[in-house]
Amino acid sequence: MSLKSICMEMGISPEVYDYCAAKEGELSERFREIDEIFEYNQIKVLRAMQEAKVSEACLVETTGYGYNDMGRDRLEEVYAKVFKTEDALVRSQIVCGTHALATALFGNTRPGDEIFSPVGLPYDTLLEVLGVREAKGSLKEYGVSFAYCDLLPDGSFDFDSIRKGINERTSLVTIQRSRGYSDRHTLSIAEINELIEFVRSVKPAVTIMVDNCYGEFIELTEPSEVGADMVVGSLIKNPGGGIAPVGGYIAGTKECVQNAAARLTAPGLYKELGPSLGNNRLLYQGLFMGPSVAASAEKGAVLLSAVYGGLGFECAPDTWAQRDDIIEAVTFHDPKLVMSFCRGVQRAASVDSFIRPEPTPTPGYAHDIIMAAGCFISGSSIELSADGPLREPYTVYFQGGLTYPHSKFGVMMSLQQLIDDGFISKERLSL
Ligand SMILES: *Cc1c(COP(=O)(O)O)cnc(C)c1O
């Protein structure tokens, strides 16, 4: 049986199959570039594991306080080598990306300090951490204030506002690499480098944190190699390779990491405590798979932009533009299309493919969100997934796919659903 006929038996029409295959055919040069970066990052991770002398004894389970957890300590050494930092905190006690970022922020600020973002408001869930949206226990309640400036309308840095925004109280500058649910672009490492140099020229002693969520292994280097004091991310995104069951990381200077550890465990306990439980093998193996999974997801995102861009929908980033994360955004200007798209992606899931997603209120987010996620790891957005906050301009964010064929199947199913629901006519697919 041919691939096309299996797909047809699974509900993909020949028109959708052929259209997507034709678009894919135009992408070989783009995919070759992605594979080159994948190969480099794979060897980078391998080298870090070899240099840290990861051994079978690192993979065993620890419990309780977790004193002398060799596997945990070496994993942190591996992360520090991969991100080229002095130290790292990599724990399954860090629940998610927001928790990792909150731990880094609380640990590295003191009452009276101000946090500044030169790239606009941060990711939705951080608004409550900062206290931009009222929340019990926010940084604001502890006397840490927050200020920001937006990018200029053309997407470049607003250097005048950044200079004015950094004052004598500014102790930490936070830079979000990925666009998140905003309409700005994702920053490249070159842009982050330029921004960090400028911030340092205004205030040399400030701590610079980069929210690295979704960005790991998409370029040859990471933000910690261009001057960030710490990079922070989630293990159920790129660096967990779809295998880590939970966790977050903070890689950075010894001081930043210790400050974060004081917050995660307790002052005095720092990194010494925290059992890895049975997770070490999964965290090592996940990191090892990270570059491959990130590349697969990135190829799926590129295909999505070619498919929907080819039909005249607004896609960001553009198929041929440099990419810096695994997310592709398609703007529909209509909530019904966002919902139909997500239902299509859900139909392509490995787990829960028969479920019909509905928009719901989600903790940390101000609007109802519709999410398509049928995952081995609950909520894992390195697995094939799509979500959209139900607000103007009705943009859906597509990401993930542990393998490229799965991501591609998700692209096809989303388009099929839009056709089945009557939002796109088959005739538009004629080549
Ligand atoms: C996903 C994400 C977060 C938050 O991560 P969670 O694991 O969902 O808490 C923060 N920042 C960015 C840019 C993200 O993409």
The CA–CA distances, whole Å, from 384 to 60, 75, 298, 357, 413 equal 30, 26, 11, 14, 12
Instruction: Tell me, in angstroms, the distance from the centre of ligand 1 to residue 353's CA.
Output: 24
Over residues 261-280, the pLDDT tens digits come to 999 999 999 999 999 999 99
Q: Which atom of ligand 1 is nearest to the CA of 100?
A: 9
Provide residues with CB under 6 Å of ligand 1.
96-98, 123, 125, 176, 178, 180, 211, 213-214, 234
Q: Which two tokens stand for residue 104?
A: 């880094």
Assess whether pLDDT exceeds 90 at residue 367.
no
User: β-pairing, 114-117 with 170-176?
Assistant: parallel
- What CA–CA distance (Å, rounded) separates 379 from 357? 13
Protein residue with least CA distance to atom 3, ligand 1: 97
Over residues 137-161, the pLDDT tens digits come to 999 999 999 999 999 999 999 999 9
Determine the average pLDDT of the residues in 104-110: 98
Assess whether pLDDT exceeds 80 at residue 181.
no
Mutation choice for ligand 1 from 187, 213, 377, CB with most ligand atoms inside 8 A = 213
Instruction: Tell me, in angstroms, the distance from the centre of ligand 1 to residue 234's CA.
Output: 7
Q: Which two tokens stand for residue 328?
A: 């592709």
Q: What is the mean pLDDT of the chain?
A: 96
Instruction: Tell me, in angstroms, the distance from the centre of ligand 1 to residue 124's CA.
Output: 9
Instruction: Tell me, in angstroms, the distance from the centre of ligand 1 to residue 237's CA.
Output: 9
Assess whether pLDDT exceeds 80 at residue 378.
yes
Q: Which atom of ligand 1 is nearest to the CA of 99?
A: 9
Assess whether pLDDT exceeds 90 at residue 9.
yes
Assess whether pLDDT exceeds 80 at residue 56.
yes
Instruction: Tell me, in angstroms, the distance from the centre of ligand 1 to residue 166's CA.
Output: 25
Q: Which atom of ligand 1 is nearest to the CA of 234?
A: 7
Per-residue pLDDT at 372: 95
Beta bridge partners of 245: none
Protein residue with least CA distance to atom 12, ligand 1: 213
Q: Which atom of ligand 1 is nearest to the CA of 126?
A: 10
Instruction: Tell me, in angstroms, the distance from the centre of ligand 1 to residue 239's CA.
Output: 13
Per-residue pLDDT at 431: 62
Any idea which residue has 């940390």 for tokens?
A: 364
The phi-psi region of residue 238 (left if phi > 0; otherwise alpha if psi is between -120 and 50; otherwise beta) is: alpha
Mutation choice for ligand 1 from 105, 234, 375, 385, CB with most ligand atoms inside 8 A = 234
Q: Which two tokens stand for residue 304?
A: 């999505």
- What CA–CA distance (Å, rounded) separates 409 from 426? 18
Instruction: Tell me, in angstroms, the distance from the centre of ligand 1 to residue 211's CA.
Output: 8
- What CA–CA distance (Å, rounded) separates 52 from 298? 29
Q: Which two tokens stand for residue 315?
A: 């896609």
Assess whether pLDDT exceeds 80 at residue 365.
no
Determine the average pLDDT of the residues in 222-228: 98
Mutation choice for ligand 1 from 174, 178, 184, CB with most ligand atoms inside 8 A = 178
Protein residue with least CA distance to atom 7, ligand 1: 97
- What CA–CA distance (Å, rounded) separates 373 from 348? 9
Q: Which atom of ligand 1 is nearest to the CA of 379?
A: 8
Other C-beta atoms lying within 10 Å of the C-beta of residue 43: 11
Nearest to 177 by CA among 253, 125, 118, 89: 118
Q: Which two tokens stand for residue 383?
A: 């697995």
Beta bridge partners of 145: 114
Dihedral sign for Cα 67, 68, 69, 73, please: positive
Determine the average pLDDT of the residues in 242-269: 98
Over residues 191-221, the pLDDT tens digits come to 999 999 999 999 999 999 999 999 999 999 9
Helix, strand, coil content of the chain in percent (nearest 5):
45, 15, 40
| Residue 376: partners with Cβ closer than 8 Å, 6 or more residues away | 242, 350, 351, 383
Any idea which residue has 């997934």 for tokens?
A: 385
Over residues 280-338, the pLDDT tens digits come to 999 999 999 999 999 999 999 999 999 999 999 999 999 999 999 999 999 999 999 99
Per-residue pLDDT at 182: 82
Nearest to 57 by CA among 76, 43, 74, 44: 74
Instruction: Tell me, in angstroms, the distance from the centre of ligand 1 to residue 180's CA.
Output: 7
At residue 183 the predicted structure's pLDDT band, cuts being 50, 70 and 90, is confident
Report, in angstroms and rounded to the nearest whole number, the Rg of the chain calculated over CA atoms.
Answer: 21
